[in-house]
Amino acid sequence: MNNILVTGGCGFIGSNFIHYLFNQSDFKGKIINADKLTYAGNPENLKSIEKKYSDSRYFFEKIDIAKFSEIESIFEKYEIDYIIHFAAESHVDRSITGPSEFIHTNIVGTFNLLELARKSWKDRKDVLFHHISTDEVYGSLGDTGYFYETTLYDPRSPYSASKASSDHLVMAYFHTYGLPVTISNCSNNYGPYQFPEKLIPLMINNMLEEKSLPVYGDGKNVRDWLYVEDHCSGIWEIVKNGKRGETYNIGGENEWTNVDLLNILCEKVAVEKGKDKDYYKKLIMFVKDRAGHDRRYAINCDKIKAELGWKQSVNFEQGLEITVKWYIDNLQWMKNINSGEYRKWIEKNYLNRQ
Ligand code: NAD
Ligand code: DAU
């Protein structure tokens, strides 16, 4: 019957995790979702959850984790047993043009949460701070090799440097104060509710609007894609059974160059839209490369498989088909974001409500 504080629950992975958790028969507790509702936070992702569980098992709090007093109010109002910390500035391109928010939210925000957990939990051992991190902290691979939990950190963008810094703080609180913590470092997620600035939803959106599909550099950068629900099941497994003080890598074991992925995605969207399979490929356009663009990420996730019995449940074909279908069936969701309508809804229902 644990109460879980989910930070960043209105974002892509956080909202998928909340949906996932309410579908688990071994979760009977409450979720407190603390989210600042930045451009990436969209409570529309959780409409059905609000409707079903509001005021009994689901509580939303508009909170900036970088403001100590705001996050302190959550600890005063609720008894928290687990913290599952998703909240972050998450887009690499934005960290290149404006790194300051990344330092604020990802580093100071994580520090605030750790301090409050330490002060309010004191010596409790039946609690957990689970930190969601990324494979980007490990740097960039050449043509071969994998990231292991033991790989030395080598972050190369302001985003990954801020995530690396927060990972170090989390482990420091374990070693120094004995705070029960776990960390997961995950590869690229895809699936429903992903903000259309990230590769897959951006490209689907542009195809549907017949806009160009911008591929950075030579398009040969490699990412390891994981269906978001499989990330959620990995996190839940770690929370329940992971060894405290340990890091677990979670990956798709599913490497694709950007350009190969895009070609397949074009075909999947074409099938759904009843077009010739090559129809959207003419929109592919090579553009200037991302500054400091990491060449290849590839996760070794043997540890979580061997120790916790986790495995991926969806292969890439299935995952992409579900994803493409979801965006096409939920066109209004995308339109609300593109038109800014979702912000008006947030203003009306969330920003002026406290
Ligand atoms: P997202 O950008 O979709 O969502 C981030 C959420 O955090 C939003 O709801 C936003 O409003 C909230 N937020 C931002 N700043 C905040 C603040 N100061 N206080 C409170 N809430 C704030 O991100 P995502 O893709 O869902 O990523 C979630 C986590 O997973 C991040 O920590 C990210 O680093 C990590 N991660 C993401 C991926 C991926 O492929 N998307 C892969 C590995 C790890
Ligand atoms: O690896 C995990 C990380 O994956 C997470 O920690 C980040 O939060 C998440 O945003 C993601 O980072 P990437 O930079 O890998 O994701 P993005 O979708 O931005 O880009 C994927 C690849 O596609 C990357 O090589 C850059 C390229 N790309 C991206 C965009 C948006 C393009 O070629 N064109 C584009 O328009």
- Tens of pLDDT, residue by residue over 135-166, are 999 999 999 999 999 999 999 999 999 999 99
Centre of ligand 2 from the C-alpha of residue 136, in Å: 10
What's domain 3-349's superfamily in CATH? NAD(P)-binding Rossmann-like Domain (3.40.50.720)
What spatial distance separates the first Cα and last Cα of the chain, rounded to whole Å?
28
Mean pLDDT calculated for residue range 329-347: 90
Rounded Cα distance between 203 and 212, Å, is 9
Centre of ligand 1 from the C-alpha of residue 282, in Å: 33
pLDDT confidence of residue 354: 45
For 195-214, b/e burial (b = at least 16 CB within 10 A) is bbebbbbbbbbbbbeeeebe
Ligand 1: list residues with CB < 6 Å. Answer: 7-8, 10-14, 35-38, 40-41, 63-66, 86-90, 105, 109, 132, 134, 163, 186, 188-189, 195
State the DSSP string of 226-245. Answer: EEHHHHHHHHHHHHHHPPTT
Dihedral over alpha carbons 72, 342, 6, 170 (to 10 degrees): -80
- pLDDT reading at 1 higher than 70: no
What DSSP element (H or E) covers 189?
strand 188-190
Domain boundaries, the chain: 3-349
Identity of the residue numbered 30 = K
Mean pLDDT calculated for residue range 272-293: 98
- pLDDT reading at 61 higher than 60: yes
Rounded Cα distance between 39 and 28, Å, is 31
Residues near 250 by beta carbon (within 8 Å), at least 6 away in sequence: 184, 185, 186, 187, 226, 230, 231, 234, 235, 299, 301, 304, 310
Ligand nearest to the CA of 95: 2
Dihedral sign (CA 161, 166, 169, 175):
negative
pLDDT confidence of residue 58: 97
The number of angstroms, rounded, from the C-alpha of 12 to the middle of its chain's C-alpha atoms is 6
pLDDT confidence of residue 79: 95
Mean pLDDT calculated for residue range 194-212: 97
Share of the chain above pLDDT 90, in %: 95
Catalytic residue list: 135-136, 159
Residues near 125 by beta carbon (within 8 Å), at least 6 away in sequence: 180
Centre of ligand 2 from the C-alpha of residue 221, in Å: 10
Nearest residue (by CA) to ligand 1, atom 33, is 90
Mean pLDDT calculated for residue range 235-254: 98
- pLDDT reading at 352 higher than 70: no
Share of the chain above pLDDT 70, in %: 99
Dihedral over alpha carbons 180, 186, 192, 195 (to 10 degrees): 100
pLDDT confidence of residue 234: 98
Helix (H, G, I), strand (E, B) or coil at 146: coil
Centre of ligand 1 from the C-alpha of residue 322, in Å: 22
Give burial (CB, 10 Å; 0-12/13-18/19+) of 293: middle
Q: What is the pLDDT of residues 76-94, one digit of tens each?
A: 999 999 999 999 999 999 9
Mean pLDDT calculated for residue range 297-309: 98
This prediction has a pTM of 0.98
Atom of ligand 1 nearest to the CA of 159: 34
